[in-house]
Amino acid sequence: MSGRSFSYATEAFEFIEGLENLVTPQDVINAVEKSFGIFGFENFIITGLPNPRESFEQVVLLKKWPVGWFNIYAKEDYVRVDPIIRLCRTTVQPFEWSEAPYDRASEPQAAEVMDRATDFRMKEGFCLPIHGIQGYEACFSMSGAHLDLSPQKKPALHLMAMYAFERARQLLKPSPYNGSGLLTPREREALTWAAAGKSAADTGEILGITERTVTAHIASACQKLEAANKTQAVARALQFKLIGL
Amino acid sequence: MTQVHIITHDNEHLHRDKLEQYFRLRHEIFVKERGWLDLKRPDAREVDSYDNKNTIYLLAIDQDRIVGGQRLYPTLLPHMISEVFAPMAERGIPSARHIFEWTRYLVVKERRMGRTDCRLLAALQQFCLEEGVTEVTAVVEMWWLPRWQQAGFKVRPLGLPSMIEGQACIAASIQISQDSLDHVRRLAGLRGSCLVRDPRISPILDRIPHVAA
């Protein structure tokens, strides 16, 4: 192993151990700013991915973004068309912004987000998607005007970003997150089996509870999702990504 | 109702069919679904040299059907991190009587949205706490890290991530603790133990062959 990559490893492990001692969200922002600056990053955001009923501002955990850009991004609701956010939802691998596909001709809004970001020196970037337990989705996206992301640096960056995300999550406890907080685990389980074509009786057998209890979970899920019946509840739960197939 | 059963050398003669199911599921998931072709075998059973009389299996079983599984192996013996993944543990390979390696974790496809993951994670913490295991080591795909952390696991990286079969993976050590067990149970709304005890199984720390230091 070369001396060069060794120094990034040391930096990464020291950064991770240092996170333990941080007490406030601002401490995390300062630590990330300092350590990620070494890689050329100037701005970053750690945010949950909003479901259709949440706004962007509601799900942001930590940010060091130019104020002007944050205001534009929120006002234009760019989170719905941002190709970086879109790729985050479908991959677990970290990626460079330039790897997030969009079509300039048919997706002018996607092009607009990427273009306007460069007005704020956010030309190049690196993004780490987070797919947590029980449907929690988030990302850590960072950018700079001149990045130098050699293959030796990326593993250190990947690891540091994951631990920084976790520390931010612990300190801010994003709860109740709508994805997992809206429905209880039992309600999600009952809907998942309904989506798989199982009756309440079948589901009761699978989960080891009575049919009546299953029906009660479904009824409660219908109420929370403002659904008229089980079919609509399943459709909404899939749409909001509260359950999967 | 899904419960996690412990299978060791002491009781495997009673659970051959369960182990066979687990081996076939490993082939199904790791070879066919994930594409780890090095593990491919003509009989469609994924079995390796760490499946032997020292292995402990924790299998999630629902009405005779395996829905998830994982295995533990003593780190005092040559194990996967020491023999295969040593370069991934540049900060040192934890190895002691009370440290086990945790491998071949799986959940069947249709149970990945439910609580089976949490049940398996809780069973791991509970089993280790009861047996006096203080730490487990594992090689895991990086995207699993936040899932463990959200489940309340305390994870220390043993090195930087490296690419295995196109996926960034890391060698890590997980501290066993009552806090982590409580956390994952709370997260999934699991009340009480989901581990089925078999009196035939002798304490695992007593079973480890003594190896000269």
- CA B103 from chain centre, in angstroms, equals 4
pLDDT at A178: 43
* Residue B83, C-beta contacts closer than 8 angstroms, at least 6 positions apart: none
Are A136 and B150 an interchain contact pair (Cβ–Cβ within 8 Å)? yes
Q: Tell me which residue has tokens 């949490």.
A: B118
Give the model confidence (pLDDT) of B137-177 as tens digits. 999 999 999 999 999 999 999 999 999 988 999 999 999 99
The dihedral through the CA atoms of A206, A209, A213, A219 has a sign that is negative
Q: Tell me the one-letter amino acid at B7.
A: I
A22 and A104 part of one domain:
yes
Q: Which chain A residue shows the shortest CA-CA distance from B115? A: A185
pLDDT at B208: 62
List residues bridging with A75 in a β-sheet.
none
For chain B, the structural domain boundaries read: 3-203
Nearest to B175 by CA among B107, B99, B103: B99
ipTM (interface pTM): 0.91
In Å, how far is B187's CA from the nearest CA of chain A? 9
Residue that terminates a domain, selected from A177, A203, A226: A177
User: Per the structure, how many domains does chain A have?
Assistant: 2
On whether residue A219 sits in a domain, the answer given is: yes
A131 and A60 part of one domain:
yes
Are A133 and B145 an interchain contact pair (Cβ–Cβ within 8 Å)? no
Instruction: Look at residue A130 and give its three-state secondary structure.
Output: strand
A132 and A217 part of one domain:
no
Give the CATH number for residue A212. 1.10.10.10
pLDDT at A177: 43
A195 and A160 part of one domain:
no
* Residue A50, C-beta contacts closer than 8 angstroms, at least 6 positions apart: A56, A58, A59, A79
Are B150 and A133 an interchain contact pair (Cβ–Cβ within 8 Å)? yes
| Closest Cβ–Cβ partner in A16, A92, A132 for B157 | A16
In Å, how far is B131's CA from the nearest CA of chain A? 27
Are A132 and B147 an interchain contact pair (Cβ–Cβ within 8 Å)? yes
- Tell me the C-alpha distance between A40 and A150, whole Å: 12
Q: Interior CA angle at B70 toward B12 and A88, to 5°? A: 165
CATH 3.40.630.30 for the B3-203 domain, yes or no: yes
- Tell me the C-alpha distance between B182 and A127, whole Å: 32
Query: DSSP letter at B13?
Result: G
A67 and A158 part of one domain:
yes
Residue that terminates a domain, selected from A138, A154, A177: A177
Lowest mean per-residue pLDDT among A27-36, A122-131, B101-110, B181-190: B181-190
- Tell me the C-alpha distance between A133 and A4, whole Å: 36
Residues of chain A with pLDDT under 50: 1-5, 176-180
A28 and A42 part of one domain:
yes
Are B168 and A9 an interchain contact pair (Cβ–Cβ within 8 Å)? no
- Chain A CB contacts of B143 under 8 Å are 92-93, 129, 131
Question: What is the extent of the structural domain holding A206?
Answer: 182-239
Q: Which two tokens stand for residue A27?
A: 């401490």
A48 and A146 part of one domain:
yes
* Residue A133, C-beta contacts closer than 8 angstroms, at least 6 positions apart: B117, B118, B147, B150, B151, B187
